[in-house]
A and B are shown apart, each in its own frame.
Chain A
């Protein structure tokens, strides 16, 4: 059973591995091929993918659906923005501090949230996310309230769109690789075990609360990383990035792409981001299109788009044999 599993993993890793290298190569070549605007969208898609990946660590791999992920994303952005604009601290330190802030918030909130399962977990994370949103929104004198913070500039050599794109690509690759390692480590397998049967996992003597908390903090840190990448991307941050509506975006992306696969959320985010930018070019009725798309995917592609493709490939393999 165990051996079977690993060989399976090997095959899928090989399969996705070559794709990966091609994709990274395409990512590196992108600035020479596509126009500046699409490069911008590509950068945005990479950042949002990271956000979705952080969400899927809890959802796809641990089986818990957090609905307050935007709070950590926003805190990452606010961390870097406030330190840079209010305290004139340099970009790199602020960047790390943004991630740290998100992780810290993740730790505090996580302690209370990991006690719960299922939908209660979702609601509690939503509630805490909303608490953070309200604090930032209402603390006008300190956070700037609704206007947010503008003027978050990256260092000089990252100021051009192309340079910042490469920076985003690099951070994304490293972060995705770390996340991939985490999910395929013993730690990751324990998360999966908890997803399948948390009671049995507990009987094995594994302190599931501690594992869940660790995963929660990691996820918050990566969401914060995405936020800290985003703020200098458009040079500003605002409280709407912390709202629960924003928390719905990685959920949609993950279900669209496929929660069961590591790169599902990435595919989902790419589709949504590019589709969104395209649709807004000629109509402002984007929401109804997105809503319908989500319903269609839920009904007809239960495993998400990538899940569907993988299933097709697997089926073909089987018939070939």
Chain B
């Protein structure tokens, strides 16, 4: 294999990893602070994609309509996240995680049917927005510029989350709360408020990533289940609730899949789960995860 071929496969893996990171970071963030494994994260992602299509169609802004639609749909999903947290999850924090897990599982069922109801299950698509319609050339080999957009967005998100978690006062609270919830509460910091804002942020990321995938591929029913399984693989490999872990996990999954496709296409998907199993056998809590107390 020549270098440019391998390099291209590597880049494809990066693009895939970036897409996964967009979705998985929200899942991981929510888990890190709330200790809630949000099964419905994928459903919010799907809802974000469908919503961005409808908003884009309704706006009919010629060139930059997509960006407006993306932002609006992410905001709407954040609002839905607020609703979910406020009406459902908040009442379950005292009840233990099995109920929370099952509640988010119930939300998958509900959201899937809502999407069916409103959009009828058609697969939809948004044309790629300017200026990301064409390809850029690397070593004389084309690479879609929209993939770069996704990678850049992923990097921006990494930076933003890193800044939020490690450089702000809110971040201090987040890290403290992830470590010892009661202590933070004892210091007079309103935990419910913190939880709500983190959940809303997670939902925002889900909506954003869903909207961003709309021009990338197709929007279709079932995309929620597809993505959430891969996100589980990502966060489990990287370590639940860890930002660097999620980044590394998406990178690994993207690369394993990409090169798996090249060398043994029929087993590419199995490779991801094998890597995951190996990681878990060595470090049951993931590469960057902390052993639970």
Contacts and interface: CB of A to CB of B under 8 A. Distances in A.
B5 interface: no
A291 B292 contact: no
Contacts of B273: 127, 130-131, 134-135
A115 B98 CA distance: 19
A126 B37 CA distance: 12
A290 B109 contact: yes
B232 A126 contact: yes
Contacts of B103: 294-295, 298
Given A112-B281, A295-B88, A127 B232 contact: yes
Contact of B270 (A117, A135, A295): A135
A292 B110 contact: yes
A285 B274 CA distance: 36
A88 to B, nearest CB: 27
5 contacts: A65-B101, A112-B281, A127-B277, A294-B102, A298-B103
B225 to A, nearest CB: 7
Contacts of B37: 119, 122-123
Interface stretch (A45-53, A96-104, A200-208, A247-255): A247-255
Given A65-B101, A122-B37, A128-B277, A117 B109 contact: no
Interface size class of B (residues with CB under 8 A): 35 or more
Contact of B285 (A65, A120, A255, A291): A120
Contacts of A255: 98-99, 102
Contacts of A299: 91
A282 B97 CA distance: 35
Nearest to A111: B281
Contacts of B270: 131, 134-135, 138
A11 interface: no
Interface string B220-255: 000001000100110010001000000000000000
Contacts of B233: 127, 130
Q: Which of A67, A244, A285, A288 gathers most chain B CB within 10 Å?
A: A288
Contact of A252 (B102, B114, B116): B102
B175 interface: no
B101 A119 contact: yes
Nearest to B107: A291
Interface of B: 35, 37, 88, 91-92, 95, 97-99, 101-103, 105-110, 112-114, 116-117, 225, 229, 232-233, 236, 240, 266-267, 269-270, 272-274, 276-277, 280-281, 284-285, 292
Interface of A: 59, 65, 67, 112, 115-120, 122-124, 126-128, 130-131, 134-135, 137-138, 140, 244-245, 248, 251-252, 255, 285, 287-288, 290-292, 294-295, 298-299, 302
Contacts, number: 115
B95 A302 contact: yes
A298 B229 contact: no
Contact of B277 (A122, A131, A244, A290): A131
B interface majority secondary structure: helix
B106 A291 contact: yes
Nearest to B112: A287
Given A251-B101, A255-B98, 13 more contacts: A67-B101, A118-B97, A123-B37, A123-B240, A127-B232, A127-B280, A138-B267, A285-B117, A287-B112, A287-B113, A294-B106, A294-B109, A298-B102
Identify whether the interface residues of A are mostly helix, strand, loop, or mixed.
helix
B292 A288 contact: no
Given A134-B270, A138-B266, A138-B269, A124 B99 contact: no
Contact of A140 (B108, B112, B266): B266
A245 B292 contact: no
B89 to A, nearest CB: 11
Contact of A118 (B106, B280, B292): B292
A298 B99 contact: yes
A130 B106 contact: no
Contacts of A135: 270, 273
A39 to B, nearest CB: 28
Contacts of A123: 37, 232, 236, 240
A138 to B, nearest CB: 5
Contacts of A245: 225
Nearest to B105: A248
A127 to B, nearest CB: 5
A120 B292 contact: yes
Contacts of A138: 266-267, 269-270
B92 A298 contact: yes
A32 B151 CA distance: 65
B100 to A, nearest CB: 9
B229 A130 contact: yes
B98 A59 contact: yes
B88 A124 contact: no
Nearest to B292: A120
Which 4 pairs of residues, A with B, have the shortest CB-CB distance?
A: A291-B109, A288-B113, A291-B110, A287-B109
A292 B111 CA distance: 11
A58 to B, nearest CB: 12
Contact of A251 (B102, B225, B281): B102
Given A127-B233, A299-B91, A116 B101 contact: no
Nearest to B111: A291
B246 to A, nearest CB: 14
A291 B108 CA distance: 8
A290 B110 CA distance: 8
